[in-house]
Amino acid sequence: MTPIGRIGSDYPDKFGVPRQPGLAPAARARLTLTAPFDDPLAIRGLEAFSHLWLTFVFHLSPERPDPERWSPLVRPPRLGGNTKLGVFATRSTHRPNRLGLSLVELVDIDTAGGVTLHLADCDLVCGTPVLDIKPYLPWAESRPEARAGFAPEAPPVLPVSFSPEAESTLASRADGDVLRELIRQVLAQDPRPAYHQHTRHGAEGRRYGVRLRDLDVRFRAEQAPGEPTTLRVVAIVPA
């Protein structure tokens, strides 16, 4: 298959990317179509739709495994990273053909010198190759009564706080308000490895870093006795 375009997004690295679309509405992205698929005729009528399905490649996942060594089981982070389920019963990035499907919001279309789709609510890392675009039809594809297996509802979110130093950095940027909300939404999903979330590894002052836009957001977990874990942003520095 030939990619029709590539994603540019707020996520330069796969660590920290929300595990599903819709969890960080402040995230912005653009899909730039590449020749010969950048003909404006190919997207005529797309402006009438608010949401799109993108079929893409998990290009940062390992190459397709040797069929003789392929494992049919994966460890979903939603289940703590210890329970094994069949790969086809999950949305794991480690798949035989590395294909992904994501629902995104279409914000704007730019046809000056090609075709660029401006997107919101995106969960794709920068550089992701996109194979296809299809409009989302809510009357056909929204099924509130459907069973959702081991993920029946959105994951719980953690409170996020900012140190005075982090707030100062945000205040100095023109995009500070939007960036603060993006950081809050991403960290609220707890991007730490699953085994750190459920052990003392993540509660002993360990620092983590997640790249967003042109920045490295450094944070740590804090937990007072009897209180829920809070992720505190301690520094925001150039990546």
- Which range, of 57-61, 213-217, 218-222, averages the lowest pLDDT? 57-61
Q: How far is CA 35 from CA 8, 45, 53, 230, in A?
A: 17, 20, 21, 46
- Which range, of 14-28, 43-57, 101-115, averages the lowest pLDDT? 14-28
| More reliable by pLDDT, 228 or 111 | 111
pLDDT score, position 99:
92
DSSP-assigned letters across all residues of 36-97:
TS--GGGGTTGGG-SEEEEEEE-TTSPPPPPTTT--SEE--GGGTTTS-EEGGGS--S--SS
Question: 31: part of which helix (H) or strand (E)?
Answer: strand 28-33
Average pLDDT over residues 30-53: 97
- Which range, of 114-118, 138-142, 199-203, averages the lowest pLDDT? 199-203
What structural domains and CATH numbers belong to the chain?
Answer: 5-61+98-141 (2.40.30.70), 160-238 (no CATH)
Neighbours of 45 (CB within 10 A): 7
pLDDT tens track for 128-150: 999 999 999 999 999 999 998 98
Sign of the CA dihedral running 110, 1, 12, 231? positive
Report residue 168 as tokens.
């100062």
Residue 180 has pLDDT above 90, yes or no: yes
Q: Which residues contact 201 (CB under 8 A, 6 or more apart)?
A: 195
Average pLDDT for the chain:
89
Coil, strand, or helix at residue 138? helix
Average pLDDT over residues 20-40: 92
Residue 203 has pLDDT above 80, yes or no: no
Q: For residue 36, say if its preceding peptide bond is cis, omega within 30 degrees of 0.
A: yes
β-pair partners for 52? 104, 135
Coil, strand, or helix at residue 16? coil
pLDDT score, position 156:
84
pLDDT tens track for 53-110: 999 999 987 666 566 667 899 888 888 778 999 999 998 888 888 899 999 999 999 9
Q: How far is CA 159 from CA 24, 33, 190, 209, 223, in A?
A: 14, 38, 10, 17, 11
